[in-house]
Amino acid sequence: MSSLSFSSRFFSLLSILNHPLKVEVIFCVQGVASPLLANIYMRRFLLAWEMKQFPEKLKAQVVNYADDFVILCRGTAQKARSAAEQIVSGMKLRMNQEKTQVVDALRQSFDFLGYTFGPCFAIGSSVVYLGARPSKGRIKRLYGKVREQLNRGNNDPLEEVVAAVNQMLVGWSQYFSYGTLTKAYRTVDYLVQARLRWWLCRRHKAKGKGTRRFPDSKLYNKYGIVCLCTLLSTKRSNA
């Protein structure tokens, strides 16, 4: 068996027509195989899935990006899982059984391509709906890059530092521009504000957290740091 492994998770969703769906997330776990080889195997998997007519037999549609994909099913998650394992085994690969599970996506969430899919709550109410939002992992990753830029030893000109951080924020917001965004954007704005204040205090040898010397208005209006919530509001008003 090859050292390239696949892991999968199954999720139950509710379609627009209120039909029960099963969603399987299968993704390649990093191994010795190159990304090119992983994509070749994924192509073979997709061709086999179509040739065996699983979309019709199992009502299971594959949605993929590179070597990551989900399988949307209508009440046939276990059969789809067995079918996927059969194809993978036929390619002399193996499914990661530890990461293969069946869950109810109406009650639990799953991550795919940086987004978290699953139940969401409408602001100010108890209404639950199925939606997508930036995952906590991607927010944490973005903040990690911001921390690296705003480190204690960075003595570059303020304008260059702010421009570098803004480039990260704008690029991140362009990718994460779908689904429920307000909470994630607010979280990123808060983290960036706090880190930038910390960095400015170290640079100017100021004591405290810097909230008085470097209020939000100064960070945004004078220094020009990007506010994701403002970008979102502008985008919605122009829509």
User: Of the candidates 80, 89, 74, 27, which has an alpha carbon nearest to the alpha carbon of residue 52?
Assistant: 80
What backbone torsions phi and psi does residue 204 show, to the nearest 5 degrees?
-100, 5
User: Any idea which of 1-10, 42-51, 228-237 has the lowest mean pLDDT?
Assistant: 1-10
Identify which has the larger pLDDT, 27 or 46: 46
CA distance 112 to 219: 34
CA distance 103 to 165: 38
Alpha carbon 18 to chain centroid distance? 26
- What number of other Cβ atoms are within 10 A of residue 140's Cβ? 11
Q: What is the pLDDT of residues 199-216, one digit of tens each?
A: 999 999 998 889 999 999
Please say if the pLDDT value at position 94 is more than 60.
yes
The pLDDT-based confidence of 19 (bands split at 50, 70, 90) is very low
Please say if the pLDDT value at position 137 is more than 90.
yes
